[in-house]
């Protein structure tokens, strides 16, 4: 059984590495994300209602919807939590061992940057996790594929921030400007058994459509190919460069530019942006449904 | 002597521990009782088995026109919701829900004399206006922008295909089983 949804939202941090890393992307999508934490605050922010009795009614319906497992919200939460912890699983032990004993650079020496192939799989598996979580939370809205794509294209707020972080922290920073093409190329060369060895994939494979590893690889490649254009357009339209993102991150993380290859690994283990913004998305959608249903 | 001192120290430490525990434990949440009711063994489902699939409601929503975009947002059992956007800004949410899952949602209309397009209607809080079709399907418009007024909400409610929705064959609800909120839902009048 998951923790109550109101506790998960109440316990979201207002500071720390994850929030600071996300704040570096404020200039990329200005005004889109304010870090709303707290269950009642979320209800107020979404609905603009102030009547406490009404807020209670909305909250109770949201809690009821979340607790009904058949409604998919708990599976979405599991995806957001697992995709973060699986991608950083190896490094977390290293971090726990080193913290407090060493300088930051000393700690970095003990991190091994992921090979490009592993990074490409991580990026694409995280993208697929987003698609699957979207469907668990929202269903497949509308009557056509076009309706569904319109719903995806209308991403805003914390969902858009999650995608911006995916493109920047899991794409641009570790793989460089042609990250999308590079990742797709790597995916096309991948065998199902290589995919099965990837930590991030192992974490969430039970919820990825496709049946077996070969089918799942097909689903991942197809989803990536379909959203590659969106990611490339996002980078081009915001004039994002690897150097810009690195400059922003190095402002608060003590790291020299020549250790860039390690920065991706560091972000992977210490920045839990999927879980953080995922819980925010989940809470918002629950509140939107609850206030409409009561 | 040493034992006595040890006992005293232990007593002080224990009381300190209680103090710390008392200070750090959070006050009980206002949602604790609903949490218990909806997680206990045999808790009723949040959505009635007989609820109409959300997809059945799609065709009754207003269409995009005159610079307004109607964008699909959610489609779940007994529920469909669209965003009403203009110039990239969300002005309102448009929704249809099946009150088979939440009879109190239908009951609130009994206390209202308001009618929109001939259907019983209700102003809820300061941002929502709803109407009820066939005593079962709730159509609601929720402002997300301060410029989108109660008059706008009523106007957009009329843009739904309400007569079409009224003709939707109803799945029989054998026995309405409400997910039992901690207290009966009270309609909150407009503020």
Instruction: Indicate yes or no: CB of B126 within 8 angstroms of CB of A138.
Output: no
pLDDT grade for A267, boundaries at 50, 70 and 90? confident
The dihedral over CA atoms of A166, A172, A178, A180, expressed in degrees to the nearest 10, equals -10
pLDDT tens profile A53-112:
999 999 999 999 999 999 999 999 999 998 887 766 545 444 444 444 445 555 555 556
Q: Positive or negative, the Cα torsion across B57, B59, B60, B64?
A: positive
Burial of B150 (0-12, 13-18, 19+ CB in 10 A): middle
Q: Which chain A residue has the Cα nearest residue B138? A: A293
In the A/B pair of chains, how many CB contacts fall below 8 A?
140
CA distance A223 to chain B (A): 20
Contacts of B129 in chain A (CB under 8 A): none
Give me the pLDDT at residue B23, please.
52
pLDDT grade for A208, boundaries at 50, 70 and 90? confident
Instruction: Indicate yes or no: CB of A139 within 8 angstroms of CB of B185.
Output: no
CA distance A74 to chain B (A): 13
ipTM: 0.85
A72: left (phi over 0), alpha (psi -120 to 50) or beta: left
* B179 phi and psi angles, rounded to 5 deg: -70, 20
CA distance A115 to chain B (A): 38
Give me the pLDDT at residue A1, please.
63
Give the residue extent of every domain in chain B.
Answer: 54-166
CA atoms of A281 and A263, how far apart (whole Å) = 27
CA distance B99 to chain A (A): 8
From the candidates A141, A143, A288, A290, which should be mutated to test the interface with B, based on the most B CB atoms within 10 A? A141
Given 3.40.1000, 3.30.40, 1.20.1300, 2.70.98, which CATH number is that of B54-166? 3.40.1000
**Number of separate helices (H) and strands (E) present in chain B:** 5, 7
Closest CA to B97 of B128, B137, B59, B135: B137
Instruction: Indicate yes or no: CB of A60 within 8 angstroms of CB of B95.
Output: no
pLDDT tens profile A129-183:
998 899 899 988 777 667 777 777 788 899 999 999 999 988 998 889 999 999 9
Q: Where are the alpha helices (DSSP H) in chain A?
A: 5-10, 17-23, 39-47, 52-67, 73-87, 89-98, 104-109, 116-138, 145-153, 157-165, 173-175, 179-189, 192-196, 199-204, 213-237, 242-250, 260-270, 273-293
Spell out the residues 6+ positions from residue B90 whose beta carbon is closer than 8 angstroms to its own.
A156, B83, B84, B144, B145
Give me the pLDDT at residue A45, please.
96
Give me the pLDDT at residue B178, please.
47
Compare CB distances from B105 to A50, A67, A294 and report the shortest one's residue. A294
Give me the pLDDT at residue B182, please.
45
CA distance B140 to chain A (A): 6
Contacts of A291 in chain B (CB under 8 A): 128, 142
Give me the pLDDT at residue B8, please.
61
Contacts of B73 in chain A (CB under 8 A): 138, 141, 151, 154, 288
pLDDT grade for A117, boundaries at 50, 70 and 90? confident
CA distance A205 to chain B (A): 24
Contacts of A147 in chain B (CB under 8 A): 72
> From first to last of its 191 residues, what are the pLDDT tens digits of chain B?
555 565 665 565 555 555 555 555 567 899 999 999 999 998 989 999 999 999 999 999 999 999 999 999 999 999 999 999 999 899 999 999 999 999 999 999 998 999 999 999 999 999 999 999 999 999 999 999 999 999 999 999 999 999 999 999 877 776 544 444 444 455 555 54
Contacts of B141 in chain A (CB under 8 A): none
Q: For residue A43, is pLDDT > 90?
A: yes
Instruction: Indicate yes or no: CB of A154 within 8 angstroms of CB of B29.
Output: no
Q: Which chain A residue has the Cα nearest residue B37? A: A64
Instruction: Indicate yes or no: CB of A289 within 8 angstroms of CB of B79.
Output: yes
Instruction: Indicate yes or no: CB of A151 within 8 angstroms of CB of B101.
Output: no
Name the β-bridge partners of B130: B122, B140
Instruction: Indicate yes or no: CB of B79 within 8 angstroms of CB of A293.
Output: yes
Instruction: Indicate yes or no: CB of A71 within 8 angstroms of CB of B181.
Output: no
Instruction: Indicate yes or no: CB of B72 within 8 angstroms of CB of A151.
Output: yes
CA atoms of A190 and A115, how far apart (whole Å) = 14
Give me the pLDDT at residue A149, please.
72
pTM of the entire predicted model: 0.85
Compare CB distances from A293 to B58, B85, B102 and report the shortest one's residue. B102
Give me the pLDDT at residue B184, please.
47
Contacts of A71 in chain B (CB under 8 A): 46-47, 76-77
Give me the pLDDT at residue B176, please.
47
pLDDT tens profile B29-39:
999 999 999 99
Instruction: Indicate yes or no: CB of A51 within 8 angstroms of CB of B90.
Output: no
Contacts of A59 in chain B (CB under 8 A): 30-31, 34
CA distance B139 to chain A (A): 9
Give me the pLDDT at residue B191, please.
45
Q: Which chain A residue has the Cα nearest residue B97? A: A293
Contacts of B142 in chain A (CB under 8 A): 47, 291-292
């Amino acid at each position: 059984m998951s923790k109550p949804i109101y506790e998960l939202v109440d316990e979201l941090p207002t500071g720390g590495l994850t929030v600071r890393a996300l704040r570096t992307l404020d200039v990329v999508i200005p005004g889109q994300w304010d870090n709303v934490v707290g269950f009642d605050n979320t209800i107020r922010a979404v609905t603009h209602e102030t009547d406490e009795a009404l807020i209670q009614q909305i909250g109770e319906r949201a809690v009821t919807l979340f607790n009904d497992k058949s409604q998919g919200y708990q599976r979405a939460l599991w995806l957001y939590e697992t995709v973060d912890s699986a991608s950083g699983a190896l490094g977390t032990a290293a971090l726990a061992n080193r913290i407090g004993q060493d300088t930051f650079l000393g700690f970095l020496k003990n991190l091994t940057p992921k090979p490009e192939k592993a990074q490409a799989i991580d990026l694409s598996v995280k993208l697929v996790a987003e698609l699957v979580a979207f469907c668990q939370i929202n269903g497949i809205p509308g009557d056509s594929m076009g309706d569904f794509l319109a719903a995806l294209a209308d991403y805003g707020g914390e969902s858009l921030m999650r995608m911006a972080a995916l493109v920047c922290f899991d794409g641009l920073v570790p793989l460089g400007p042609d990250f999308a093409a590079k990742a797709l190329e790597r995916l096309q060369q991948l065998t199902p058994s290589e995919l099965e060895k990837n930590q991030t994939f192992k974490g969430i494979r039970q919820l990825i459509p496709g049946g077996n590893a070969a089918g799942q690889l097909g689903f991942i490649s197809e989803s990536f190919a379909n959203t590659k254009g969106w990611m490339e357009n996002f980078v081009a339209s915001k004039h994002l460069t690897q150097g810009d993102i690195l400059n922003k991150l190095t402002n608060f993380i003590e790291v020299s530019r020549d250790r860039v290859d390690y920065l991706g690994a560091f972000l992977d283990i210490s920045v839990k942006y999927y879980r953080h913004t995922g819980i925010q998305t989940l809470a918002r959608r629950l509140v939107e449904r609850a206030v409409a249903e009561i | 002597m040493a034992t006595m001192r040890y006992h005293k120290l232990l007593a002080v430490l224990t009381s300190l521990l209680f103090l710390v525990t008392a200070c750090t434990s959070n006050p009980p949440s206002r949602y604790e009782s609903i949490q218990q009711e909806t997680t206990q063994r045999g808790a009723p489902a949040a959505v009635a088995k007989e609820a109409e699939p959300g997809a059945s409601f799609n065709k009754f929503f207003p269409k995009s026109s005159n610079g307004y975009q109607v964008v699909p947002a959610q489609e779940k059992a007994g529920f469909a919701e669209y965003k009403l956007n203009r110039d990239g800004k969300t002005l309102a949410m448009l929704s249809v829900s099946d009150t088979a899952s939440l009879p109190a949602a239908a009951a609130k209309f009994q206390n209202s004399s308001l009618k929109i397009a001939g259907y019983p209607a209700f102003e809820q809080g300061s941002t929502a206006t709803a109407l009820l079709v066939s005593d079962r399907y709730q159509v609601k418009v929720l402002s997300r922008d301060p410029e989108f007024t109660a008059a706008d909400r009523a106007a957009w409610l009329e843009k739904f295909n309400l007569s079409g929705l009224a003709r939707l064959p109803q799945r029989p609800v054998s026995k309405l089983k409400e997910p039992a909120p901690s207290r009966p839902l009270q309609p909150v009048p407009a503020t």
